[in-house]
Structure 1
Amino acid sequence: LHTEFGISYFLARLTNPSKALELILTSEFVDAREAERLGLVNKVVSPERVESEAMELATKIARGPWFAIRLIKKDVYEGVRADLKMILEREALGQAICLRTEDAKEGHKSVDREKRAPV
């Protein structure tokens, strides 16, 4: 059988082409710890901790500056296809835009001047 669902595309980018070929051509089983080591999953947790760990991560991200998060996500996903020069330009533009937001003002005020967590 041939690969499907974009596995050759995604696996080569998540690991590297030679590791992707090894995994695909040998059909080796990858357990949870190996998947984590290879970068195929972010974190391995027990089944009973999945929901609490996911909520903890989601809450942590949700507390961040939403506008900057939106731009960063876009840059990371586009970075897979772009060259370094393009990404550096996008990051510089993103910094210039984000520095003008209320989130940035609150971040600087809270951390630099008031020594507290941003709201």
Structure 2
Amino acid sequence: MASVGVVTRLLLGKNVLSTARVALPNTGFVKFYSAAPSYENIKIDVVGTKKNVGLIQLNRPKALNALCKPLFVELGKAVVDFDADDSIAAIIITGNEKAFAAGADIKEMQNNTYSSNQRGGFLKEWEDVSRCGKPVIAAVNGFALGGGCELAMLCDIIYAGDKAKFGQPEINIGTIPGAGGTQRLPRYVGKSKAMEIVLTGSFIDANEAEKMGLVARVFPAEKLLEETIKLAERIGSHSPLIVKMAKEAVNQAYETTLKAGLSYEKSLFYGTFATEDRKEGMTAFIEKRAPNFKNE
């Protein structure tokens, strides 16, 4: 299909982004390509039939999307802006077909010292992704290594293309994962497999990652983004308020004991009965109609 050729204005938080609307062939989706001059290392789009999915594409193709500090500062800001935008139901982070992110920028880190890391709070920018209240989905094609694998694990769900590669190869360059690799990976795949991956620096392919539980689903590379958008849109069909509560409940399972987690879950469950969306959802079910959620 040819370009629709319509210029629109998209307001994200405090930033106004110029966008050009282009029809995507064979998908039924309309993609908004941002022309925002303030971002040099990422691209921002709004996708989906209801234009309610925020898409962040890492954009350092010559460096295989190596995660330098300027990129993560931009990524964090984009996530915060999408999180604050009531029209956005879910956020997708992706790269390109060669690399989701092939790791942290080694040249940037090479001359770091222990004291400079401490004083500057090295990697603190990564917290913006983990603090996001809305669902964040990683769409991983190509390499997701080191910091790239850690970024994917910061997300709530990982979808992968069939040629994706995951790994924590920091051991090969005399260091260890520093953005959650030694902590989140065992929670995904168990201690033994995490130890094997971290201590050998070896890669795993998408199918193995799915079998381990690191990846939720695997698709042909060319279908990955389309399928990830479908997932985000399905999440977006539910009450944003209840989705946020459900995300909090699941994340709590990694932070506490089973007993404390069950108590936390029950308190949130009870809390849903104070919302209009819970009332609407149950009423719509009984009346055999689609619910009209209002985020209240």
Say yes or no: TM over 0.5. Answer: yes
Contact 1:68 1:94 in 2 (8 A): no
Matched with 1:50 is 224
Residue type of the alignment partner of 2:229: M
For residues 76-102 of structure 1, the C-alpha deviation after alignment (integer angstroms, 9 at most, x for no partner) is 222201011211111111111111211
Q: Which stretches in structure 1 are left out of the alignment for 5+ residues?
A: none
Instruction: Give me the whole-angstrom Cα distance separating, in 2, the residues matched to 1:33 and 1:56.
Output: 21
1:118 matched to 2:291? The reply is yes
Instruction: Give me the whole-angstrom Cα distance separating, in 2, the residues matched to 1:7 and 1:54.
Output: 23
1:39 matched to 2:213? The reply is yes
**Greater share of helix residues, 1 or 2?**
1
**Matched length:** 118
Instruction: Give me the whole-angstrom Cα distance separating, in 2, the residues matched to 1:90 and 1:102.
Output: 21
TM-score, normalised by the number of residues in structure 1:
0.88
Residue type of the alignment partner of 2:201: S
Instruction: Give me the whole-angstrom Cα distance separating, in 1, the residues matched to 2:200 and 2:192.
Output: 12
CA RMSD of aligned residues (A): 1.5
Contact 1:36 1:43 in 2 (8 A): yes
Q: Pick from 99, 102, 118: which aligns with 2:273?
A: 99
TM-score, normalised by the number of residues in structure 2:
0.38
Matched with 1:75 is 249
Matched with 1:63 is 237
For residues 41-80 of structure 1, the C-alpha deviation after alignment (integer angstroms, 9 at most, x for no partner) is 1211122112211111111101112111111211222220
Q: Between the two proteins, what is the percent identity of the paired residues? A: 35
- Deviation of 1:29 (Å): 2.4
**Greater share of strand residues, 1 or 2?**
2
Q: Which stretches in structure 2 are left out of the alignment for 5+ residues?
A: 1-173
Residue type of the alignment partner of 2:289: R
